[in-house]
Amino acid sequence: MLSLRADLHIHSVLSPCGGLEMSPKAIIQRLKYFGIQWMAITDHNSMQNCPAYEMVAKNEGLYYSWGVEIQSIEEIHLLAYFDDSSSAKEFDSELYNSLLPINNDVDFWGDQVIIDENENILRVEQRALINSSQWDLNTVAEKVQAYNGLVVPAHIDAGVNSIISQLGFMPSEPELKLFGITAMLDIKSWLTEHPDFEDKVFLRASDAHYLNDIGKGYSIITVAEATVQELILAAKGVSGRKIEV
Amino acid sequence: MINLSDYVTAIKGINCTSALSLEGVKITGAYVCDMLSDVMGSAKPGQVWITIMKHLNIIAVASMTGIPAIIFAKGNEPDTAVIEKAIEEGIILISSKLPTFELAGKLYKLLNP
């Protein structure tokens, strides 16, 4: 078993609300400084920067998982992770086609830049990524599962765009195993107000939009290898696997 | 306080929960919001709830806050599972083609003639 420090919710230069300082080298240097060994880039509604960041991460000896932060029609933010990059790409194109057809306003939202591993700009995404998919929560869960991915509701303790802020409380469907929490959450006091989450498993991450955010929140994940399938087993606590926040 | 049936006529609403009658249902006002956590904290019993949110959880939220009817704006219609749950809980679901602003405005006028 490996016990890995993991930050599985980080934004790249593709996220318009993030800083252009979020280059692969700069992010990975900062992750290494904090001893974080497993990362995922989870941009809003797009995985187009995963190839570049994955290549740099692997060259620098970090584990990398393909991820995305989807915004459902209810404006819930949901993280999705995939082991197989070709399934992830197919999912990504389905997701892209489900986005409301609104163009990005660069002056208002910021740039959406797709880069290669050497930080050359390949293209600029024109469609607004801070925007909802037309998929509702259940559809997101079904689609991610169809591509063998894992859905994790993002920052459930946040006042906006969390499954609780949008839906009031956890619906019984879809059945979810793992729940994202914000970097600084005091989980004990939060649980006193949300006792229905007592038996749930949490994933803490930085949700970094700027370099300074990195290192503020991570999880320690014990798995046989750094894969999404292992993360699913860790969420279920199978054979000594676990997630500590 | 006005009759729900008068309001539904004014907004040309369709009762999606035809098993439930509008007869005798009185309303005091409306709460307008698409975030269920906010509705849970702020809506008052006797108010209708004007929204475009169609997730199943709306029925539980309406039930726990004492909302007699949910009004869906812009022609939104809930799916069968939501309608069935609403009938079970006695929450009337109305769909209207009008946008939220007009739905609220028409109700305000009826309440304050």
| Spatial CA neighbour of A8 closest among A31, A33, A30 | A31
CB nearest to B35's CB, from A136, A165, A171: A165
ipTM of the complex, rounded to two decimals: 0.81
Mean pLDDT of the A93-104 span: 94
| pLDDT over threshold 90, residue A4 | yes
Residue A10, classed as helix, strand or coil, is strand
Q: Is B87 on the interface with A (CB under 8 A)?
A: no
> Å from A190 to nearest chain B CA?
16
Question: Which one-letter amino acid corresponds to residue B112?
Answer: N
* Alpha-helical segments (H) within chain B: 4-10, 36-42, 57-65, 80-89, 100-111
Give residue A212's pLDDT band: very low, low, confident or very high (50, 70, 90).
Answer: very high
pLDDT in tens, B73-109: 999 999 999 999 999 999 999 999 999 999 999 999 9
Is residue A191 packed enough to be buried (19+ CB in 10 Å), middle (13-18) or exposed (0-12)? Answer: middle
Residue in chain A lying closest to B62 (CA):
A168
d(CA A153, CA A139) in angstroms, rounded, equals 14
For β-strands A219-223 and A242-244, DSSP reports them as antiparallel
Contact (CB, 8 A) for A8 and A41:
no
* Alpha-helical segments (H) within chain A: 24-33, 50-59, 85-98, 106-109, 137-146, 163-167, 187-193, 228-236
pLDDT at A43: 97
> Å from B80 to nearest chain A CA?
15
pLDDT in tens, A158-178: 999 999 999 999 999 999 999
| Spatial CA neighbour of A160 closest among A96, A71, A79 | A71
Query: Where do the domains of chain B lie, and which CATH numbers do they carry?
Result: 2-111 (3.40.1390.20)
Chain A CB contacts of B34 below 8 Å: 75
pLDDT at A106: 87
Report the predicted TM-score, pTM, of the whole model to 2 decimal places: 0.92
Chain B CB contacts of A169 below 8 Å: 36, 57, 60
Query: Where do the domains of chain A lie, and which CATH numbers do they carry?
Result: 2-244 (3.20.20.140)
